[in-house]
A = this chain, B = another copy of it.
């Protein structure tokens, strides 16, 4: 929602990094320079970013830049819930409200490319509803929507 409208994005980045540091301290894991830089790069905008897009950017910053480096950093960030993977795009995006594991859910605008996280509470409720109806036990879920965001709907 907010992510789909113009805003001070530097604030998004700063907040994301700060939260990441907090989360890492709480969980007793290390936000090393590569991991931190990968997180910043994923947060450079609200568009899902491919792993291979990060390689040259990391290289430009003097970091090692080979697929395993990037994937290890991404796996780490996924593991502790700082980013999500958008599997329909083979891409990654920063999590808006890290701190606890929660279902992956995004709306992605096909016009501007921005993505916004879906309200976790509703996802949770829907997942619970389906568990009931289908008699299954859900362990993880991912909901990916595409279409036009509020801004792009009103463009010429």
What sequence of 0s and 1s flags, for each residue 8-41 of chain A, a beta carbon within 8 Å of any chain B beta carbon? 0000000000000000000000000000000000
- The digit string for A125-149, where 1 denotes a CB below 8 A from any CB of B, is 0110111011111111111111111
Looking at A51-59, A68-76, A114-122, the stretch in contact with chain B turns out to be A114-122
User: Out of B137, B139, B140, B153, which one reaches A137, CB within 8 Å?
Assistant: B153
Q: In angstroms, how far is the closest chain B Cβ from the Cβ of A115?
A: 11
- A148 vs B4: C-alpha distance in the bound complex, in angstroms? 35
Size range of the interface on A? 35 or more
CB-based nearest B residue for A90: B87
Oligomeric state, in copies:
2
A143 touches B141 (CB 8 A): yes
Q: Are B153 and A145 in contact (CB under 8 A)?
A: no
New A-B pairs, 15, CB < 8 Å, besides A134-B150, A139-B148, A141-B143: A1-B135, A87-B88, A87-B144, A107-B138, A118-B134, A119-B133, A122-B129, A130-B145, A136-B145, A136-B147, A138-B145, A138-B147, A140-B147, A141-B144, A141-B145
Residues of A within 8 A of B (CB): 1, 4, 87-88, 107, 109-110, 116, 118-119, 122, 126-127, 129-131, 133-150, 153
